[in-house]
Structure 1
Amino acid sequence: MSAGDKVQNAAEKATGKAKEAVGDATDNEELVAEGRADQAKADLKDAGENMKDAAKDAKDALDR
Protein backbone atom coordinates (compact mmCIF):
# COMPACT_ATOMS: atom_id res chain seq x y z
CA MET A 1 0.00 0.00 0.00
CA SER A 2 1.43 3.33 -0.95
CA ALA A 3 1.87 6.08 1.59
CA GLY A 4 -0.64 8.20 -0.31
CA ASP A 5 -3.29 5.48 -0.02
CA LYS A 6 -2.63 5.15 3.71
CA VAL A 7 -3.01 8.89 4.22
CA GLN A 8 -6.15 9.06 2.11
CA ASN A 9 -7.78 6.14 3.94
CA ALA A 10 -6.82 7.56 7.34
CA ALA A 11 -8.29 10.92 6.37
CA GLU A 12 -11.52 9.28 5.19
CA LYS A 13 -11.76 7.32 8.43
CA ALA A 14 -11.14 10.47 10.51
CA THR A 15 -13.78 12.35 8.55
CA GLY A 16 -16.21 9.53 9.19
CA LYS A 17 -15.50 9.57 12.91
CA ALA A 18 -16.02 13.33 13.00
CA LYS A 19 -19.32 13.06 11.13
CA GLU A 20 -20.47 10.33 13.50
CA ALA A 21 -19.52 12.40 16.55
CA VAL A 22 -21.29 15.51 15.26
CA GLY A 23 -24.32 13.41 14.36
CA ASP A 24 -24.40 11.95 17.88
CA ALA A 25 -24.08 15.39 19.44
CA THR A 26 -26.89 16.84 17.33
CA ASP A 27 -29.15 13.75 17.27
CA ASN A 28 -28.76 13.60 13.50
CA GLU A 29 -29.08 9.90 12.66
CA GLU A 30 -28.42 10.53 8.96
CA LEU A 31 -25.05 12.11 9.74
CA VAL A 32 -24.20 9.28 12.14
CA ALA A 33 -24.96 6.75 9.41
CA GLU A 34 -22.94 8.70 6.85
CA GLY A 35 -19.98 8.82 9.23
CA ARG A 36 -20.16 5.09 9.86
CA ALA A 37 -20.39 4.45 6.13
CA ASP A 38 -17.30 6.59 5.50
CA GLN A 39 -15.40 4.60 8.12
CA ALA A 40 -16.52 1.28 6.66
CA LYS A 41 -15.51 2.42 3.18
CA ALA A 42 -12.02 3.34 4.43
CA ASP A 43 -11.74 -0.03 6.21
CA LEU A 44 -12.67 -1.87 3.02
CA LYS A 45 -10.10 0.10 1.04
CA ASP A 46 -7.46 -0.81 3.65
CA ALA A 47 -8.42 -4.48 3.44
CA GLY A 48 -8.20 -4.41 -0.34
CA GLU A 49 -4.80 -2.77 -0.26
CA ASN A 50 -3.59 -5.33 2.29
CA MET A 51 -4.78 -8.16 0.04
CA LYS A 52 -2.92 -6.68 -2.91
CA ASP A 53 0.23 -6.37 -0.79
CA ALA A 54 -0.08 -9.98 0.41
CA ALA A 55 -0.56 -11.25 -3.14
CA LYS A 56 2.49 -9.31 -4.31
CA ASP A 57 4.55 -10.68 -1.41
CA ALA A 58 3.43 -14.24 -2.21
CA LYS A 59 4.32 -13.76 -5.88
CA ASP A 60 7.72 -12.34 -4.95
CA ALA A 61 8.37 -15.32 -2.64
CA LEU A 62 7.50 -17.77 -5.43
CA ASP A 63 9.76 -15.95 -7.90
CA ARG A 64 12.84 -16.50 -5.74
Structure 2
Amino acid sequence: MMPLKLANIDEKLTIQRISGNEELKKHLSDLGFVPGTDLKVVAKTNGNMIVNIKNARIAIGEQTAMKIFI
Protein backbone atom coordinates (compact mmCIF):
# COMPACT_ATOMS: atom_id res chain seq x y z
CA MET A 1 0.00 0.00 0.00
CA MET A 2 1.28 3.48 -0.88
CA PRO A 3 -0.09 7.05 -1.07
CA LEU A 4 -1.80 8.05 -4.29
CA LYS A 5 0.81 10.81 -4.70
CA LEU A 6 3.37 8.13 -5.66
CA ALA A 7 1.22 6.53 -8.37
CA ASN A 8 2.16 6.60 -12.03
CA ILE A 9 0.10 8.27 -14.74
CA ASP A 10 -2.31 5.96 -16.64
CA GLU A 11 -2.01 3.18 -14.07
CA LYS A 12 -5.31 1.57 -13.02
CA LEU A 13 -5.52 1.66 -9.22
CA THR A 14 -7.89 0.70 -6.42
CA ILE A 15 -8.35 2.75 -3.25
CA GLN A 16 -7.41 0.71 -0.17
CA ARG A 17 -7.74 3.25 2.65
CA ILE A 18 -8.38 6.94 3.34
CA SER A 19 -6.67 8.66 6.27
CA GLY A 20 -7.25 12.10 7.76
CA ASN A 21 -9.94 13.77 9.82
CA GLU A 22 -13.64 13.00 9.48
CA GLU A 23 -14.32 16.19 7.51
CA LEU A 24 -11.76 15.24 4.86
CA LYS A 25 -12.99 11.64 4.72
CA LYS A 26 -16.58 12.83 4.19
CA HIS A 27 -15.51 15.29 1.49
CA LEU A 28 -13.55 12.61 -0.36
CA SER A 29 -16.41 10.13 0.04
CA ASP A 30 -18.80 12.68 -1.49
CA LEU A 31 -16.43 12.90 -4.49
CA GLY A 32 -16.36 9.10 -4.84
CA PHE A 33 -13.07 8.36 -3.09
CA VAL A 34 -14.01 5.31 -1.02
CA PRO A 35 -12.10 2.06 -0.41
CA GLY A 36 -12.64 -0.46 -3.20
CA THR A 37 -13.18 2.19 -5.89
CA ASP A 38 -11.02 2.09 -9.04
CA LEU A 39 -9.32 5.22 -10.33
CA LYS A 40 -6.61 6.31 -12.73
CA VAL A 41 -4.15 9.21 -12.49
CA VAL A 42 -4.57 11.32 -15.63
CA ALA A 43 -2.00 14.05 -14.94
CA LYS A 44 0.49 15.32 -12.35
CA THR A 45 1.54 18.96 -12.14
CA ASN A 46 3.54 20.63 -9.37
CA GLY A 47 2.44 18.02 -6.84
CA ASN A 48 -1.23 18.28 -7.78
CA MET A 49 -3.05 15.47 -9.57
CA ILE A 50 -6.00 14.98 -11.86
CA VAL A 51 -7.63 11.60 -11.41
CA ASN A 52 -10.36 9.85 -13.32
CA ILE A 53 -12.79 8.29 -10.85
CA LYS A 54 -16.34 7.09 -11.57
CA ASN A 55 -16.31 8.70 -15.05
CA ALA A 56 -15.34 12.11 -13.63
CA ARG A 57 -12.04 13.97 -13.60
CA ILE A 58 -11.18 15.47 -10.23
CA ALA A 59 -8.20 17.62 -9.26
CA ILE A 60 -6.67 16.98 -5.85
CA GLY A 61 -3.77 18.61 -4.04
CA GLU A 62 -0.57 16.99 -2.90
CA GLN A 63 -1.60 16.88 0.78
CA THR A 64 -4.88 15.14 -0.06
CA ALA A 65 -3.11 12.69 -2.37
CA MET A 66 -0.91 11.68 0.59
CA LYS A 67 -4.04 10.63 2.53
CA ILE A 68 -5.47 8.33 -0.16
CA PHE A 69 -3.80 4.92 -0.09
CA ILE A 70 -3.77 2.53 -3.04
Query: TM-score with structure 2 length normalisation?
Result: 0.26
Higher relative strand content = 2
Larger relative contact order (Cα-Cα within 8 Å, sequence gap ≥ 6): 2
Higher relative helix content = 1
Query: TM-score with structure 1 length normalisation?
Result: 0.28
